[in-house]
A and B are shown apart, each in its own frame.
Chain A
Amino acid sequence: MHRKNNWSSVSNWLGRYGTFSALLIITASFLIFIPNFRSFSNFKALMFQVSMLVIVSAGLTIVFSVGETDISTGAIVSLSGVFAAFLMVKNVSPIFAIVITILGGVILGAMNGIMIGYLRVPALLGTFVTSIIALGINYLLGLGSSIRITKELSGDFYLSLGGGYLLGIPIPFIFAVIITVILLILLEKTKWGLRMYAVGGNREAAVTFGINIRKVKLAAFIISGFCSSIAGLLLSARLGAGSPIGGDAYTLDAIAATFVGVSMFREGEPHIGGTILGVLIMGILVNGMRLLGISYEMQIILRGLFILAAVATAGKRALFRTKLF
């Protein structure tokens, strides 16, 4: 029997309680020390900011649960916004544009799933390739500049999806809640979720249990692509434009948020609840940094350090997802 050394128990504890405590401490200190943080308008801004990241991260969590990684998320987010805007400029109705864009996200996700599930391409490589292709299409459509989505083009409906409120709650937030709840139920309460965890937890055992590994992984990547495209649509609706670089930060941020949530409920394993907390922490940190007047460049550096820390403390078990070959 392996003797557990001190480091692994610390990381164990960090995993279980660290996240939640960190969130509490950070929120509490910000509430106390940063006056603007307490304002309602800031709170609303915060809700907008985290909504998109939560949706992407939730999709990524599903991919993590089957033991894989996805670094094409940001590229799909950016592409979705540009694609939808492009379609609407070409006089496609907003509803159609939404549907086709989501379909695009699903197709890209399926591409990932086939490469990784069926062709045994390593996840890092496969999703990297997808992100490059998405980038290429992105540039093809928008030539590198944002495509404005004006009211005349898309009608109020589309823009309100990103910027509007329902009963005082920002609509993207509502989307975020709905999607995360659905995915949470999927992972924790349905048989498919259980199988996903099994595939990620012990591939050979999953095979013996009669689970079709390839299908499960394909489904996971499709879900991730789907989530990324939805987040991209919401983002473009909020910005009022399809920005070719809008989603770039999401790739790493989603990874960090999901890693932060690892080990919260099951050691070494991701969990939608943990991911949500991870997103909240990041969102609050970024928000706080901005309110403190920290320069944009410094924020980038701090965010990078945070990501490294999140990944490093996720524990060795979770890191196998990050191996290349």
Chain B
Amino acid sequence: MDQKENGLEKFFSKKKISTNTNILIRYSTLMALIAVAIIFSITIPSFLTIRNLENLLVQMAVLGIVAVGLTFVTIPGEMDVSLGSVVTLAGVFAVSLMGKGFGLIPSLAAAMIVGIISGLINGLISIYGHISSLIVTLTIGAILDGVSLLYTGGYRLYKGILPSYLFIGTGKLFGIPMPVVIMFVVVFIGFILAHKTVYGRRLFSVGGNFNAARLVGINPKLTTLLAFVFCSLCSAMAGIIATARVGTAEPFVRFGYVMDAFAIVFIGTTTSAEGEPSIPGTLLGIIILGVLSNGMNLIGVPFSAQNILKGVIILFTVLISSIIRNQKK
């Protein structure tokens, strides 16, 4: 009110996007997916084969699980960029324990515990220490990387991997690859948790209006803390699957996870009427990104160009959800 906005700002914040336009934006993402899928099917002969589709899903499984976890953290407006580091560390722990002779269950449990503890640390420091979650998780991620390196001494771990563990990554259940099964289970659980439980509604309330949520008796800090824990837990599960697929745990971090996971979640926000993250939206994002990456790989687009594309997608979706959110204010 106190400063007249310039033209660009006026466009983005004052222009009332009519309901029709809003719906257009929301479905445009789905339509874009369908369009791209059709184009790929027509132009790339190997796209529509079962083998390729299977490949596509498997490739997306690990990332998809991470993205589901990230969705929870973005609902109350926080960030988590320690995802990749948790994936790595969880896998490292699981494989190293098996190498020391522990059974399947203890090793899996160890990986999960890594996730839970990381989530707790992230959440406690960000929320109760009043420090930006971005900076906290960036730092914790760096520290976890250091721990991975320290623990493994820089070496790959592969000794002592149990066949049952490998099954998680390479086996099939009713003909569907295990990673995909697990991903769908996680998506399903995430969906129920976020959209069908008391906790989920509380989380969305905190995201919608922190103060209003507090004044109706919700504990916003605890609610958000749990989101951080669930997010890191998902990353840990992804770590298990990733290492189970290749049979080794590498302490060298893949940068890709963070960027891709955010791209997926942000794509998901364009499908909501309020520019909000959601699990169905994230699922759509997983599929879109999967199709795009798969198609580009088949064509032979270099990895680097794909990265730029992802960057542009994030930029667009951030701007769009900013617009949607701003003009609701």
A304 to B143, CA, bound (A): 6
Query: Is A252 an interface position by the 8 A CB rule?
Result: yes
Q: What's the Cα separation between A296 and B142 when bound, in Å?
A: 12
Q: Flag whether B158 is at the interface (Cβ < 8 A).
A: no
Contact of A139 among B138, B140, B143, B307 (CB under 8 A): B307
Q: Is A312 close to B, CB under 8 A? A: yes
Contact A304 B139 (CB under 8 A): yes
A137–B9 CB distance below 8 A: no
Interface centre among A129, A132, A316, A324 (most CB of B within 10 A): A132
The reply to whether A121 and B314 form a contact with Cβ atoms under 8 Å apart is no
Interface flag for A185 (CB, 8 Å): no
Looking at the complex, which one of A207, A252, A312 makes contact with B131 (CB distance below 8 Å)? A312
B19 at interface, CB cutoff 8 A:
no
Are B142 and A322 within 8 A (Cβ)? no
* Distance A128 CA – B314 CA, assembled complex (angstroms): 10
Q: Is A161 an interface residue (CB 8 A)?
A: no
Partner of A325 from the list B77, B130, B139, B305 (CB cut-off 8 Å) is B77
**Nearest CB in chain A: distance from B319 CB, A:** 7
For B214-239 the 0/1 string (1 means CB < 8 A from A) is 00000000000000000000000000
Instruction: Pick the contact of B150: A126, A143, A295 (CB < 8 A).
Output: A295
Tell me if A308 is interfacial: C-beta within 8 Å of chain B. Answer: yes
Q: Assess whether A204 is interfacial by the CB under 8 Å rule.
A: yes
Point out the residue from A71, A128, A204, A304 that lies within 8 Å of B146, measured CB to CB.
Answer: A304
Of B9, B309, B311, which contacts A119 at CB under 8 A?
B9
Hey, what's the 0/1 contact readout for A173-192 against B, CB within 8 Å counting as 1? 00000000000000000000
Using Cβ atoms and an 8 Å threshold, which residues of chain B touch A208? Answer: 2
Complex: chain A residue closest to B7, CB-CB: A118
Interchain CB contact under 8 A, A140 and B132: no
A298: interface (CB < 8 Å)? yes
Question: Is A213 at the interface (CB under 8 A from chain B)?
Answer: yes
Interface: A323 (CB within 8 A): yes
CA distance A312 to B131 in the complex (A): 7
Q: Which one of B9, B138, B148, B326 lies within 8 Å of A118 (CB-CB)? A: B9
> Is there contact, CB below 8 Å, between A297 and B147?
yes
Taking a contact as CB atoms under 8 Å apart, the answer to whether B311 and A301 are in contact is no
A141 at the interface (CB under 8 A from B): yes
Interface pair A140/B3, CB less than 8 Å apart: no
Question: Quick check: is A44 within 8 A (CB to CB) of the other chain?
Answer: no
Min CB gap B209→A, angstroms: 12
Residues of A within 8 A of B304 (CB): 136, 138-144
* A128 touching B134, Cβ below 8 Å: yes
Q: Are B132 and A322 in contact (CB under 8 A)?
A: yes
Is A16 part of the binding interface, using a Cβ–Cβ cutoff of 8 Å? no
A193 to chain B, nearest CB (A): 21
Q: Are A252 and B318 in contact (CB under 8 A)?
A: no
Known: A140-B305, A143-B302, A304-B139. A132 touches B259 (CB 8 A): yes
- Assess whether A120 is interfacial by the CB under 8 Å rule: yes
Contact B133 A324 (CB under 8 A): yes
Bound-complex Cα distance A301 to B147 (A): 7
The reply to whether the CB of B191 lies closer than 8 angstroms to some CB of chain A is: no
Cα A298 to Cα B149 with chains together (Å): 9
Contact B9 A307 (CB under 8 A): no
Given the contacts A120-B13, A140-B302, A319 and B131 also touching, CB distance less than 8 Å: yes
Contact A132:B311 (CB < 8 A) given known A119-B9, A307-B139, A312-B129: yes
Contact B308 A324 (CB under 8 A): no
A136 touches B139 (CB 8 A): no
- SS of A interface (majority): helix
Cβ-based interface call for B198 (8 A): no
> Which among A121, A129, A299 has the highest number of chain B CB atoms within 10 Å?
A129
| Contact of A296 with B308 at beta-carbon distance under 8 Å, contacts A71-B134, A121-B318 already known | no
Contact check, B150 vs A252: say whether CB atoms are below 8 A apart: no
Closest to A206 in B: B3
Chain A residues closer than 8 Å to B9, beta-carbon distance: 118-120
Closest-CB distance, B55 to chain A (whole angstroms):
23
Closest Cβ–Cβ distance, residue B278 to chain A (whole Å): 17
Interface centre among B79, B131, B132, B303 (most CB of A within 10 A): B132
Inside 8 A of A304's CB, which chain B residues have their CB?
Answer: 139-140, 142-143, 146
* Contact assessment for B140 and A140 in the assembled complex, using a CB-CB cutoff below 8 Å: no
Q: Which residues of B contact A213 (CB under 8 A)?
A: 3
**What residues on A are CB-neighbors of B125 within 8 Å?**
308
Within 8 Å of chain B (Cβ to Cβ): is A46? Answer: no
- Distance of A305 Cα from B142 Cα, bound (Å): 10
Inter-chain contact A319/B132, CB cutoff 8 Å = yes
Of A118, A121, A136, which one neighbours B319 at CB under 8 angstroms? A121
* Interface: B288 (CB within 8 A): no
A301 and B79 in contact (CB under 8 A), knowing A71-B134, A136-B307, A204-B2? no
Query: Would you give 6 A-B contacts (Cβ < 8 Å), ordered by A?
Result: A132-B311, A135-B255, A136-B312, A213-B3, A300-B143, A322-B132
Q: Which 4 A-B pairs have the closest CB atoms?
A: A322-B132, A300-B146, A136-B308, A139-B304
B-side residues, CB < 8 A to A, are 2-3, 6, 8-9, 12-13, 77-79, 125, 129-136, 138-140, 142-143, 145-150, 154, 255, 259, 262, 302-305, 307-312, 314-315, 318-319, 322, 326
Given A120-B9, A133-B311, A213-B3, 19 extra CB contacts under 8 A: A118-B9, A119-B12, A124-B79, A132-B314, A136-B307, A136-B310, A138-B304, A140-B308, A143-B304, A252-B139, A252-B142, A255-B135, A297-B147, A300-B146, A304-B139, A308-B139, A312-B131, A324-B79, A325-B77
